[in-house]
């Protein structure tokens, strides 16, 4: 496995140490931890409608746990956060971000116009296609808002909307072009790679076409799922002609070839 970093993982259901230990055992050299902002006790009142995924953490406790894991396990860790992008709440949400010594910030769209993606399965073709288009509009806004290092799981809407818009590839290209313009990475997400492999291939082709930086993250919520789709992710990227993965340190982009 030549992609040896994972820049999307969560600690609420285990711990930073357990995630780092598994990453080391799987041969990774670096783990980017990125708990949801709605799992932070300070931000929970603003995002109390989001699903609870485990015990809440304070920003300081989370940061200390991530930094301590690097020392305890002897693997380089990077401190990140997965931040919801929600029109009408973004100013409040992003007010929690300054002064935390982040290495990277993930912008995520988990809800569309007040409906959480996981809570609503859309089986009507017209409604499904419209929901996809609205999702892409929000992803483009997240990519261009200036707050994030990368935008996560750009094809995750597939979890609720069975019917793809006929303009899907054009929408992926619009997103890739906007992300490239703003020097924001798009994510090859391990959860989606395993479930919607063909859609991720189409995303990778759009990124290659527009020279959009890409990140690779497992979206692991349990230690066993760290790097859960790295081999297939690498195959998809190579097929598209992409041979570079973006990572970050103190919000500054870095990259390596694979």
For residue range 66-101, list pLDDT tens digits in order: 999 999 999 999 999 999 999 999 999 999 999 999
Helix, coil or strand: residue 20:
helix
Mean pLDDT of the chain: 96
Residue 1 has pLDDT above 70, yes or no: no
For residue range 182-197, list pLDDT tens digits in order: 999 999 999 999 999 9
* pLDDT for res 118: 77
CATH class assigned to 78-257: alpha beta
What one-character-per-residue DSSP string does 194-249 give? Answer: HH-HHHHHHHHHHHHHHT--EEEE--BSSGGGTTTTHHHHHHHHHHHT--EEEEEE
What is the pTM (predicted TM-score) of this model?
A: 0.97
Cβ atoms within 10 A of the Cβ of 99, count? 7
Residue 120 has pLDDT above 70, yes or no: no
CA angle (81, 87, 92) in 5-degree steps: 55
Binning pLDDT at 50, 70 and 90, where does residue 119 land?
low
Mean pLDDT along residues 20-28: 98
């Amino acid at each position: 496995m030549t992609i040896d970093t994972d820049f999307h993982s969560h600690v609420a259901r285990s711990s930073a140490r357990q995630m780092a230990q598994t990453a080391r055992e799987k041969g990774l050299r670096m783990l980017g931890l990125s708990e949801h902002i709605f799992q932070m006790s300070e931000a929970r009142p603003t995002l109390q409608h989001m699903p609870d995924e485990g015990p809440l953490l304070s920003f300081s406790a989370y940061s200390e746990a991530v930094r301590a894991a690097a020392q305890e396990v002897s693997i380089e860790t990077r401190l990140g956060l997965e931040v919801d992008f929600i029109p009408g709440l973004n100013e409040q949400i992003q007010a929690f971000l300054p002064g935390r010594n982040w290495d990277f910030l993930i912008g995520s769209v988990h809800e569309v116009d007040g409906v959480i993606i996981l809570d609503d399965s859309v089986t009507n073709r017209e409604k499904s296609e419209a929901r996809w288009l609205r999702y892409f509009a929000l992803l483009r806004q997240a990519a261009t808002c200036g707050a994030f290092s990368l935008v996560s799981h750009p094809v995750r809407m597939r979890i609720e909307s069975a019917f793809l818009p006929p303009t899907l590839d054009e929408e992926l290209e619009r997103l890739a072009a906007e992300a490239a313009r703003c020097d924001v990475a798009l994510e090859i997400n391990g959860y989606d790679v395993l479930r919607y492999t063909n859609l991720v291939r189409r995303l990778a082709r759009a990124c290659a076409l527009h020279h959009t930086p890409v990140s690779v993250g497992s979206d692991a919520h349990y230690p066993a799922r760290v790097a859960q789709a790295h081999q297939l992710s690498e195959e998809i990227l190579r097929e598209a002609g992409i041979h570079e993965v973006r990572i970050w340190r103190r919000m500054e982009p870095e990259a390596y070839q694979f």
